[in-house]
């Protein structure tokens, strides 16, 4: 299928215009007023629980220190994803549902399923996303501390202890700690990791000092042959395995068409590599 929408060019050219368009739709803000931190409790939102018709959803810091939790077996929606990587939802009149947050020190815990029509855009180097075994995140992408709508909004930490992430693009300006599960980027080499200096990413103003991927379990999976890109990350000291820069393996054969990046296993773990490869082939991956 011919793709009619490519996110990197869109963000570089018209991110501000997008925000103005989607702001015409009623915004929804986390309040935490009901207590219990349950995402699906209407009392925790100023206009009720977000759904497939919401375009701008915000998780801001609150005076009561509440934070959103998507519980085991629960589903949370922010708009509706188009179902095809690289294509905005809405057909001939595309829309861009966005989860702005967690922001400025807030936390989002994902035990269930989070589906976002376009992007999750957390900001602030004390903001944290935690995903646990059984959790999932599906969207066009994530701006992990790399936000086109707020220059310098770098940082953010995502801890993935299990579960699955399926996205088209990663705008990478924060920290990804992968302890388990799979983090899959389904567009060919769909990672923006540019540096905010002359000749680099002058829009998003991210530096490598605010960027790291630490693989301590699970797998980072990227569409296409990402060998050159990942070795470039090694030379920039922004990817590590079990806390050691460059202590990773790059596999372009076990999952045809994709590159699988893992931490170099401890000696006692080598015997389990065969089982691990088999499990990888059996996983279900969302494709266009």
Each residue of 164-202: pLDDT tens digit? 999 999 999 899 999 999 999 999 999 988 876 544 445
> Taking residues 146-159, what's their average pLDDT?
77
> Using one digit for the tens of pLDDT, what is the confidence trace for 121-137?
998 878 999 999 999 99
pTM of the model: 0.85
Lowest mean pLDDT among 17-26, 128-137, 167-176, 245-254: 17-26
Q: What are phi and psi of 277, to 5 degrees?
A: -65, -40
Residue 7 has pLDDT above 50, yes or no: no
Q: Does residue 263 surpass a pLDDT of 70?
A: yes
Between strands 182-185 and 68-70, the pairing is unpaired
Percent of the chain predicted with pLDDT > 70? 77
Q: SS3 sequence, the chain?
A: CCCCCCHHHHHHHHHHHHHHHHCCCCCEEECCCCCCCECCCHHHECCCCCCCCCCEEECCCCCCCCCEEECCCCEEEECCCCCCCCCCCCCCCCCCCEEECCECCCEEEECCEEEECCEECCECCCCEEEECCCCEEEEEEEEECCCCCCCCCCCCEEEECCCEEEEEEEEECCEEEECCCEEEECCCCCEECCCCCCCCCCCCCCCHHHCEEEECCCEEEEECCCHHHHHHHHHCCCEEECCEECCEEEECCCCCCEEEEEECCCHHHHHHHHHHHHHHHHCCCCCC
The predicted pLDDT at position 204 comes to 60
pLDDT digits (tens, 9 = 90+) for 72-84: 999 999 999 999 9
Q: Is the pLDDT of residue 9 over 80?
A: no
For residue 212, the model assigns a pLDDT of 95
Instruction: Supply the mean pLDDT for the chain.
Output: 84
Dist CA 84 CA 168 (whole Å):
9
């Amino acid at each position: 299928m011919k793709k009619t929408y490519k996110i990197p060019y869109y963000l570089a050219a018209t991110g501000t215009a997008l925000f103005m368009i989607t702001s015409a739709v009623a915004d929804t803000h986390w309040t935490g007023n009901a207590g219990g931190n349950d995402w699906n409790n209407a009392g925790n939102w100023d206009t009720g629980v977000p759904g497939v018709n919401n375009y701008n959803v915000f998780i801001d810091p609150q005076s009561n220190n509440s934070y959103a939790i998507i519980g085991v077996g629960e589903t949370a929606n922010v708009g509706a994803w188009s179902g095809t990587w690289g294509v905005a939802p809405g057909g001939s009149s595309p829309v861009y549902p966005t989860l702005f947050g967690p922001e400025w020190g807030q936390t989002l815990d994902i035990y269930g399923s989070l589906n976002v029509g376009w992007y999750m855009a957390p900001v602030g180097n004390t903001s944290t996303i935690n995903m646990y075994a059984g959790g999932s995140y599906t969207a066009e992408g994530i701006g992990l501390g790399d936000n086109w709508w707020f220059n310098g909004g770098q940082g953010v930490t995502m801890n993935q202890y299990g579960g699955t992430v399926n996205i088209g693009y990663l705008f990478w300006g924060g920290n990804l700690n992968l302890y388990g599960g799979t983090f899959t980027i389904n567009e060919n080499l769909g990672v923006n990791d540019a540096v905010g200096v002359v000749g680099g990413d002058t829009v998003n103003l991210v530096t490598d000092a605010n960027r790291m991927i630490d693989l301590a379990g699970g797998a980072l999976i990227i569409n296409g042959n990402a060998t050159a890109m990942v070795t470039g990350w090694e030379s920039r000291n922004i990817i590590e395995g079990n806390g050691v820069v460059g202590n990773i393996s790059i596999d372009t054969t076990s999952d045809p068409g994709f590159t699988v990046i893992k931490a170099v296993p401890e000696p006692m773990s080598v015997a389990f590599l065969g089982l691990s490869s088999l499990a990888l082939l059996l996983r279900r991956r969302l494709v266009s």
